[in-house]
Amino acid sequence: MASGAHSRTAAVLLQGDAPARDRVRGEPKLYVFAISHYCEKACWALDRLDVDYRIVATAPGLHLRLAKKLGARRSSLPILVVDGRCIQGSSEILDWAEALPSSHGAPLTPE
């Protein structure tokens, strides 16, 4: 991958519906708002650690139903769905990414 290139691919979710297959194993999917500091924080962390994922943008309002379908505890974004697991919130996504073997213990946040 070229320096500065991103590993993310983009999709747009218009209806706020998350297919049931999103909760099964496969490529990680990051559900975001198009403009959100918290969502960008999660994207930057995954990019920094070279995690391949698919980004799915949804509109405010439509995300309420989406979060519920994904099994999230709250209605906020970002939500990362990976290996059938729903990880909600940018800080929780950073913690998950830092724990990956591929991160080599590189911290994303200060102690």
Could you read off the pLDDT of 49-95 as tens digits, one per residue?
888 999 999 999 889 899 999 989 999 999 999 988 999 999 999 99
Tokens of 90: 């940018």
| Cα–Cα distance measured from residue 99 to residue 82, given in angstroms and rounded to the nearest whole number | 14
Percent of the chain with pLDDT over 90: 43
CA-based end-to-end distance of the chain: 30
Calpha distance 26→111 (Å, rounded) = 32
Higher pLDDT, 110 or 30: 30
What pLDDT is recorded for position 3? 39
User: What's the pTM value of the predicted model, to 2 decimals?
Assistant: 0.75
The helix-helix angle for 37-48 and 90-98 (nearest 10°) equals 10
Quote the tokens at residue 97.
């990414």
Q: Is the pLDDT of residue 2 over 50?
A: no
Exposed, middle or buried: residue 12 (CB in 10 Å: 0-12, 13-18, 19+)? exposed
